[in-house]
Amino acid sequence: MAKVLVVTSGKGGVGKTTSTAALGAALAQRGEKVVVVDFDVGLRNLDLILGAERRVVFDLINVVQGVAKLSQALIRDKRLENLWLLPASQTRDKDALTDEGVRSIIADLRTKFDWILCDSPAGIERGATLAMRYADEAVIVTNPEVSSVRDSDRIIGMLDSKTVKAESGERVEKHVLITRYDSGRAARGEMLSIEDILEILATPLLGIIPESQDVLRASNVGSPVTLNNAASAPARAYIDAARRLMGETVEMMVPTERKGLMDRLLGRRAA
Amino acid sequence: MNAIAQPTRQLVRMRGRSYVAFVFAPVVPIVGWLEEIDATLARSPGFFAGKPVVLDLSEAAIMHLVASLEQRNVRVLGIEGVDPVRLTASMPPLLTGGRSCVLMQNELKKPETKPKPTSLLLENPVRSGQSIVFTEGDVTVLGSVGSGAEIVAGGSIHIYGTLRGRAMAGVNGNSAARIYCQKIEAELLAIDGYYQTAEEIDVALRNRPAQAWLEGDVMRIAPLS
């Protein structure tokens, strides 16, 4: 049965789009049929991260307004035949999204895909609430710092009250994904520890993605990090998280960079 | 005598029999006439006991009854059970075929006086941005209260997790209300309008079980031991 999963955070810049692309690619690599939907109308990014920006013809708003058919707007990934993108419109804003339009698109996508990953915009306004509206599951992307954690807490409260599932008395299954984690800085007390974050959010952990240059490198070449360098520490962490989403039990660990000798000597750290 | 007619199919013998019956012909004014009957009954209470009575309603009597009812603001819609030939054009029309029905007494149902709940129990954590307002009494939270969340209670507030948000107890002027929490990292504590912000709360109390109460107009916070 198709699962609608929203990737959300409240706060901007924590890695929602990166995580959507990486998880989507990781799920597709494991044979699942996946569509990633960009809900960030007006500030679309997911097409860039997936390297599909030059193939966008129609977008989510066109489909909502009936200008284009869903099949016309869906873009198939060139590397993974199981991965599709439904891009957002860059020329419109979030007001162009309607509850009814989103409902019908999600219902349509449910019949075609195993996973529907909704990349939520930052904030708690229309775009974010509509991205989570029809979700069955949610990945809350959180950075190990207080403002991100508090915003995530707020988003979890909204997932428990503003979604269709919550309104019908069910629960949206929630997972916390900690990104940009630096174990060295956490050990020195410069970052919130995993325990602190989980204690505050009282929500199960999906994975810990280490801070890494590989993430930036991958997005610069328009490739999900799980595709670009599957052996890198963040890619392994995302792949583990995707396996957990599929119901597998995978031991929780913080993958570390395999530092070269030069890196060690120069004390180079991912910034 | 058995009043219930049994549906038996026996041969019935008919016999004629005549009885002496009183015929009551009400005269106007009816009230006076009824008083006469009352007086008769007062003199000999058993006078009509067991005796058949026939009521003779003459045209005049019906007219009078209708008129006197109208005087009392009762408008008669129709007359039932009277020979149609006895009704004149000035009288209400004859009604037939009416079926009896039970008139429900529309008594004002007293709303069941369920005692209003005087406490509110929240089993889930209160998230940032949520505001719980319960002015009727105490609020108990089994989880934590997130930073940026607030609890407003008419009575006391009990938090079995960490209090990171705001807690406002005794908002209706209840200065005896208190705030209890398993771990205090509150942004603001208030009781009956007296408040302390995080800055004013003693650092030594942080991360410990604590309670807050009012002593006069000074808020006290002490660890729970």
Residue B163 token pair: 């209090």
Contact A5, A115 (CB under 8 A): yes
Across the interface, of B124, B146, B161, the residue whose CB is closest to A150 is B146
Least Cα separation, residue B132 to chain A (angstroms): 12
pTM assigned to the model: 0.71
What is the per-residue pLDDT for A271?
42
Contact B185, B199 (CB under 8 A): no
Contact B129 A124 (CB under 8 A): yes
Least Cα separation, residue B130 to chain A (angstroms): 7
Pairs of residues, one from chain A and one from chain B, whose beta carbons lie less than 8 Å apart: 42
Query: A259: which residues sit within 8 A by CB, 6+ positions away?
Result: A268
Chain B residues close to A150, C-beta within 8 Å: 128, 146-148
Alpha helices (runs of H) in chain A, residue ranges in sequence order: 16-29, 46-49, 60-64, 70-73, 99-110, 126-133, 146-159, 164-167, 183-187, 194-201, 213-220, 225-228, 233-245, 261-266
| Window B:171-190, CB contacts with A under 8 Å | none
| Gyration radius (Cα) of chain B, Å | 40
Residue B187 token pair: 């942004």
Burial of B1 (0-12, 13-18, 19+ CB in 10 A): exposed
Contact B127 A157 (CB under 8 A): yes
What percentage of chain B carries pLDDT values higher than 70?
72
Across the interface, of B125, B148, B162, the residue whose CB is closest to A150 is B148
Across the interface, of B124, B128, B161, the residue whose CB is closest to A153 is B128
Least Cα separation, residue B126 to chain A (angstroms): 8
Residue type, A259: K
Contact B146 A157 (CB under 8 A): yes
What is the per-residue pLDDT for A259?
57
Residue B203 token pair: 């650092």
Higher-pLDDT residue of B91, A218: A218
Q: Note whether B124 contacts A: Cβ–Cβ < 8 A.
A: yes
Q: How confident is the model at residue B44 (pLDDT cuts 50, 70, 90)?
A: confident
| ipTM surpassing 0.85 | no
Res. B176: pLDDT tops 60: yes
Burial A188-214 (b: 16+ CB within 10 A, else e): eeebbebeebbebbbbebbbbbbbbeb
Least Cα separation, residue B96 to chain A (angstroms): 56
Residue A102 token pair: 């989103």
Mean pLDDT in chain B?
81
Contact A42, A88 (CB under 8 A): yes
Q: How confident is the model at residue B10 (pLDDT cuts 50, 70, 90)?
A: low
What is the per-residue pLDDT for B24?
63
Q: How confident is the model at residue B1 (pLDDT cuts 50, 70, 90)?
A: very low
Q: What average pLDDT score do residues B154-168 get?
A: 96
Element spanning B34, H or E = helix B30-43
Across the interface, of B124, B127, B161, the residue whose CB is closest to A154 is B127
Interface mutation vs chain A, best among B127, B163, B207, most A CBs within 10 Å: B127
Least Cα separation, residue B129 to chain A (angstroms): 6
Low-confidence ranges of chain A (pLDDT < 50): 270-271
In chain A, what are the helix, strand and coil shares in percent, each to the nearest 5? Answer: 40, 15, 40
